[in-house]
Structure 1
Amino acid sequence: MTPTVLLRNGVVIDTAPAPTVLGKADVLVEDGRIAAVGPGLAAPPDAEVVEAAGKLVLPGFVDTHRHTWQAGIRATVPDGTLPAYLERVLGELAPRYRPDDVYAGTLAGVLECLDSGITTLVDWSHIQLSPGHTDANVEALRASGIRAVFGYCYGGDGGPGALAAETRRVRGEYFDAPAGTLTMAMAALGPEIAGEERALAEWRLARDLGLPVTVHMGGHGPESAARGLAFLADAGLLKHPTTYVHANHYTGEEFERIAGSGGTVSVAPAIEAALGIGPPPTGRARNAGVPTGLGADTVASGPGDMFSIMRAAYFLERGRPGGAGLGFTAADALRMATIEGAEVAGLADVTGSLTPGKHADILVLSVDTGTAAAHDPIAAVVLSADTRNVDTVLVGGRVVKRGGVLGGHDVPALLDSLSESAARLTRR
């Protein structure tokens, strides 16, 4: 049974409907959910009291796009471009992965998330080379304790029939019954990467199985972006729940079309800038009314913590030519990293804010020399804090990090396994 927890006397920041500093207050967690938020809450007799005085208390971060399995090939493509990343990571390294490499990389990647305050993750997993790879991926997510959407991207042979059979197996074996903190999405390769036939199979299967779609679309140039979106519309697929990842090249009119269809966008600002995909569409998507979240994407070429990603989004948007992005605020960045990200992940009714009744995915940040004397706590989180400040993390009311230390895992042993895997994968 999940323990009752009272976070006492922290400076509380809530994020719904917009980031707001509530001031010094308590947060009561019962049965894994937020029961109350306010000053001077009474501690139930069985409550574990966590003293948060002088610390910041806020919802856990939501990463809406990460290839989590790549934790073992960190920094393998620095200073590269998208073609270099595709050649090195997907062309050379991915085919070498065995199921145990997937397990070690995914578990290590998820613990990196939890350690840095990310409590919800969309795991866009295109390392599904066999059923064994898939089983290892899901087991690692389960073992980690994070809240995750498993974005399943079929990577085997056999065409649409094999794709459908294996996706149905995964859906039935792991996600038919309520799965606690894990849910499933279709991570689609079509239409811009793998073509329209693959896209038809993926979207129709997602519709049949009741799965949302998350897809790399809009990042391959204006013509490809327009053609792909038009294809979805012509095929009657546009209104299916879809997250467009790297939507850099959509026009304002196309973003309005996405908004009207109920679609969402995931921006990976650091990776989009570093790999030359294009200027992150943060402000343009949000101004069109599209819910827009943040993602780390790949640690092969960029950072894996949400503090770095929020800062990348903030500075790249505000630095748009002609002052076009100067209306973007630190509060906007925090909203994207929490409640807006939860909306993109399809979990806004579950997480992303401190609304009573939601699952208790909570982050407690300490204040040190880098964040002391901050006049705006929201700006301090976005512009000043880093992973050193992550003191306590709860997922579904369960404490997974306390006093700056991850619990429940033999981290040194896992890192040894990851190092062994990385050495084999990258051996020339």
Structure 2
Amino acid sequence: MNAASNADGFGDSAARPPVVFRGGTVLTMDDRGTLHPEADVLVVGGRIEAVGPCLAVPEGTVEIDATDGIVMPGMIDTHRHMWQTAMRGYGADWTLTQYFVWYYLEHGRHFRPEDVYAGNLLSAVEALDAGVTTTVDWSHGLQTVQHADAAVDALEEVPGRFVLAYGNIQAAPWEWSVAPEFREFVGRRFHGDDMLGFQMAFDVTGDPAFPEKTAFEVARELGATVTTHAGVWGATNDDGIRLMHDHGFMNPDTVYVHAATLSADSYHRIAATGGSVSVSTESEQSCGQGYPPTWALRAHGIPVSLSMDTSVWWSGDLFSAMRATLGADRAREHLEAHAGSETVTHVHLRAEQVVRWATRGGAQALGLDDKVGSLEAGKKADVVLIKNAHSPAMFPLLNPYGHVAFQAQRADVHTVMVDGRVVKHDHRLVGIDLARARRSVEATVDYLQGQLGPEAWEHGMNPDVPETKVLDNPYTYTGYRSTATHGG
């Protein structure tokens, strides 16, 4: 395929020629778990027309050679703080407490709308580059509507599928959610387009007065899904889950992020009300939200999706998320067995399951399962081809699910299609101005360094913890203190 002549048609999907991925190992991720060792995926008019061996295709169809590669659904990240991507790697050695200090207490307010735009733009581009075709922008840096407009402007500039989860860590959710400018923004920027979805993002502290009730009521009025950091050590706990449940705000479309320090009672409530959990394994196991909870979620039958949290710490791809999740879940299984003088002979979490969490699980969590998440006729064409003829790690291809979870990486993402449009081909982004993203991010880094000064900027990579009970409550908009960690 000639990317310059065939992959840069940016009109509506009906105007682009049909595309067929030929002869790849196809992981459909359908309900039956169908795997085709050698098959084609035909895309017509932005939708998957057919999946199977040796498909007949319409005249003028563009062929992409998928031989020796893996064709799979686009991956879905259900929780990423995209606005922080301009600070990629800055907090590599942070704990969660230091993250709270830097963003919540000290420097988060410095971010201008253009800085949110820069982070979102780079994050959106890197997601596509890694085969993540749908990303939830857990955008808790929206201090003003101008910041929110900048966030959406960036998402709309990149040809991916995104969900803006509107939040503001500097203001109380029961205040910003009822502001006229917030409602005007929602009505102005969101129109039911599945390329740009909407959620409300806020946390429940556990305050018995349940002030967050107002924000839940606004979400219900707007028909918006709520996504919330739940079960995060020192920040949110079982009290928040109980309050949500007792007031009738735990719904099947609610997404609980991390859920790593909850009791069995809370897991039962999530399971009974049909919610799902977005697991960010790398973040949880390194920063201290709690032990990655897939072992508990599996035991309670709670649906799982995967997420990367933020590039201020981790990479922006889900290959590392799958790898880390398998490792953390299996490590716990082995350690618990050893503690009882037993030996695990067969692991319970298999590679196929985490690949499903990275694709279909995300679609189900976001209410998009009828559109994306699997390669089935009639669904939107969000397709990823993993193939790298120059890599010795791409052969032999014996266990395709294991290959995706343990062997592949972003450099092996050959082609990415979103909504029938090729946005990456032959390992290069198509129709995306990477230089513009670089300029925007460089301007933001220069601005932040200027605001903080050289000494504070350097010190911020390992910030001191101030004399405040940040461990009990990192939220600046409430005086409530829990007794969940070291005293109220």
TM-score category, normalised to shorter length: over 0.9
Higher Cα Rg: structure 1 or 2?
2
Partners of 2:285 and 2:221 in 1: CA distance: 36
Of 351, 355, 359, which residue of structure 1 is paired with 2:380? 359
**1:111-141 CA-partner distances (Å, limit 9, x unpaired):** 1100000001111001111111100101111
Q: Greater shift after overlay, 276-285 or 163-172?
A: 163-172
Q: Greater shift after overlay, 52-61 or 319-328?
A: 319-328
Asked if the contact 2:104–2:169 (Cα under 8 Å) also holds between the matched residues in 1, the reply is no
- CA displacement at 1:254 relative to structure 2: 2.3
Partners of 1:106 and 1:10 in 2: CA distance: 33
- CA displacement at 1:238 relative to structure 2: 2.1
Match of 2:91 in 1: 77
Of 224, 227, 231, which residue of structure 2 is paired with 1:211? 224
Equivalence map 1:207-356=2 (5 Å): 207-220=220-233, 225-239=237-251, 241-320=253-332, 321-323=335-337, 326-356=347-377
**1:75-120 CA-partner distances (Å, limit 9, x unpaired):** 2222221110111233333211111111111010011100000001
Q: TM-score, normalised by structure 1?
A: 0.94
- CA displacement at 1:295 relative to structure 2: 0.5
Match of 2:423 in 1: 400
Partners of 1:283 and 1:237 in 2: CA distance: 25
Match of 1:170 in 2: 185
Q: CA RMSD in A?
A: 2.0
Asked if the contact 2:267–2:300 (Cα under 8 Å) also holds between the matched residues in 1, the reply is yes
Partners of 1:287 and 1:157 in 2: CA distance: 36
- CA displacement at 1:250 relative to structure 2: 1.8
Q: Greater shift after overlay, 142-151 or 311-320?
A: 142-151
Q: Greater shift after overlay, 352-361 or 406-415?
A: 406-415
Q: Which runs of 5+ in 2 are unaligned?
A: 1-11, 338-343, 454-488
Match of 2:414 in 1: 391
Match of 1:112 in 2: 126
Matched, 1:60 2:81: no
Match of 2:432 in 1: 409
Evaluate the alpha carbon distance shift between residue 90 and residue 224 of structure 1 in structure 2; reply closer, same or farther with a 3 A threshold: closer
Partners of 1:158 and 1:385 in 2: CA distance: 42
- CA displacement at 1:197 relative to structure 2: 4.3
Evaluate the alpha carbon distance shift between residue 287 and residue 22 of structure 1 in structure 2; reply closer, same or farther with a 3 A threshold: farther
Q: Which runs of 5+ in 1 are unaligned?
A: none
The amino acid of 1:358's aligned partner reads K
- CA displacement at 1:380 relative to structure 2: 0.6
The amino acid of 2:187's aligned partner reads G
Q: TM-score, normalised by structure 2?
A: 0.83
Secondary structure, aligned partner of 1:145: coil
Secondary structure, aligned partner of 2:167: strand
Q: Greater shift after overlay, 321-330 or 274-283?
A: 321-330
- CA displacement at 1:247 relative to structure 2: 0.1
**1:202-261 CA-partner distances (Å, limit 9, x unpaired):** 11111011011000111136x952211111122122236311111001233421221110
Partners of 2:30 and 2:205 in 1: CA distance: 35
Q: Stretches of 4+ moved more than 6 A in 1?
A: none
Partners of 1:303 and 1:159 in 2: CA distance: 29
Partners of 2:137 and 2:124 in 1: CA distance: 9
The amino acid of 2:123's aligned partner reads G
Match of 1:45 in 2: 59
- CA displacement at 1:167 relative to structure 2: 3.1
- CA displacement at 1:161 relative to structure 2: 5.2
Asked if the contact 1:32–1:396 (Cα under 8 Å) also holds between the matched residues in 2, the reply is yes
Partners of 1:18 and 1:74 in 2: CA distance: 39
- CA displacement at 1:158 relative to structure 2: 8.3
Asked if the contact 1:12–1:24 (Cα under 8 Å) also holds between the matched residues in 2, the reply is yes
Partners of 2:114 and 2:418 in 1: CA distance: 26
- CA displacement at 1:331 relative to structure 2: 0.8
Secondary structure, aligned partner of 2:237: helix
**1:334-388 CA-partner distances (Å, limit 9, x unpaired):** 0110101211122111111001111110000114211211311110110000011
Match of 1:190 in 2: 204
Asked if the contact 1:256–1:289 (Cα under 8 Å) also holds between the matched residues in 2, the reply is no
Match of 1:130 in 2: 144
Q: Greater shift after overlay, 199-208 or 406-415?
A: 406-415
Q: Greater shift after overlay, 300-309 or 147-156?
A: 147-156
Match of 1:32 in 2: 46
The amino acid of 1:372's aligned partner reads F
Q: Which has the higher strand share?
A: 1
Matched, 1:143 2:144: no
The amino acid of 1:74's aligned partner reads R
The amino acid of 1:374's aligned partner reads L
The amino acid of 1:353's aligned partner reads S
Partners of 2:225 and 2:438 in 1: CA distance: 33
The amino acid of 2:361's aligned partner reads E
